Structure 1
């Protein structure tokens, strides 16, 4: 498995053309063969210079938004009952649990624009959140705009980290492992803060 991951990352570094970046970022929304926190640093590592890095981030965002539009279309055409039935039957095999799908759908009844932006910063949610958005028929253009903003906030730091770490002599597997550890640490810390805040509010009341 480790050898496969290393080979895949090295192939990504050889994919220097922008169409390959577009395809990889689009396919990632449907077949996440590599986690995005590995894919986008690898895309950044292959950049020739700062301008190429910016272009890669822009193209990757376009591909990510196009993938979200595809999921939105599936949800809009499938309808609530059919899509939820598909999630119940096939969701667990692609890491989409019914409970997660229901939480995303419920969250959209609040502030859909902000929820969409924030959802693009959560690895599993960023892939599937367009599906319930399509089922609920959220306004398409605002949804895609929010997806683009959130995707940029996710892609640019990851690609930039890959670009700069590559120039410090890090290998592709080292960058992927290092960023995964950092993201996991941040997520755990954020969860602990949220739990502590909730406990404090509960005791205060």
Structure 2
């Protein structure tokens, strides 16, 4: 039996996928780890899934480009003041912003790619890139590749689970639970690694 949510996902057009992916970069009402599995669930076959992933990547890239332009236009001092005053609404603390800026000065392409695989960072990552006026071509290429990997992973997982008979809501919860487990595991591993390194130095 097709649920109302399943019917809504099936009816979503490529234009709606594009807009949803772009809006996700500005208003994270529906986080990427919920949005993209839902997009994959709504694909009727592998070709439709690939099309949705590509269109979503373009939407995400458009959002990143807008953030980049904002950072380049507003400038370093005013962006820092805005982050200090309003950054908490986007989960962007001054400390995290400063770390992104410092990282971009050292490894711009690698940080751009990896940042698209981190739910919170991927939203506003292009802002400091625009402030620093990183080379636009390499920035967009790394953003597109990182976004495609993230979107394909989540949408593919949602699609496979739905094909196995899981309802849309159930499949979304499974993907979300798996991502939370991975994030917690990665955070724990990083903490243990830092403790080991600190012990060796001591």
Alignment TM-score, normalising by the size of structure 2: 0.93
The answer to whether residue 184 in structure 2 is matched with residue 188 in structure 1 is: yes
Q: Is contact 2:21-2:59 (8 Å) kept? A: yes
The answer to whether residue 164 in structure 2 is matched with residue 168 in structure 1 is: yes
Partner of 2:69: 73
Q: What SS class does the counterpart of residue 137 from structure 1 fall into? A: coil
Write out aligned runs for 1:34-113 (5 A).
34-113=30-109
Aligned residues: CA RMSD: 1.7
The one-character-per-residue Cα deviations of 1:61-81 (angstroms, maximum 9, x if unpaired) are: 011011000000000000001
Q: What SS class does the counterpart of residue 108 from structure 1 fall into? A: helix
What 5-or-longer segments of structure 1 have no aligned partner?
1-5
Alignment TM-score, normalising by the size of structure 1: 0.91
User: Aligned match of 2:18 in 11, 17, 22?
Assistant: 22
What number of residue pairs does the alignment pair up?
Answer: 199
**Matches of 2:134 and 2:7 in 1, distance apart?**
38
Deviates more, 1:168-177 or 1:42-51: 168-177
Shift of the alpha carbon at 1:174?
1.7
Deviates more, 1:136-145 or 1:160-169: 160-169
**Matches of 2:9 and 2:156 in 1, distance apart?**
14
* Regions of 4+ moved over 6 Å: none
Q: What SS class does the counterpart of residue 133 from structure 2 fall into? A: coil
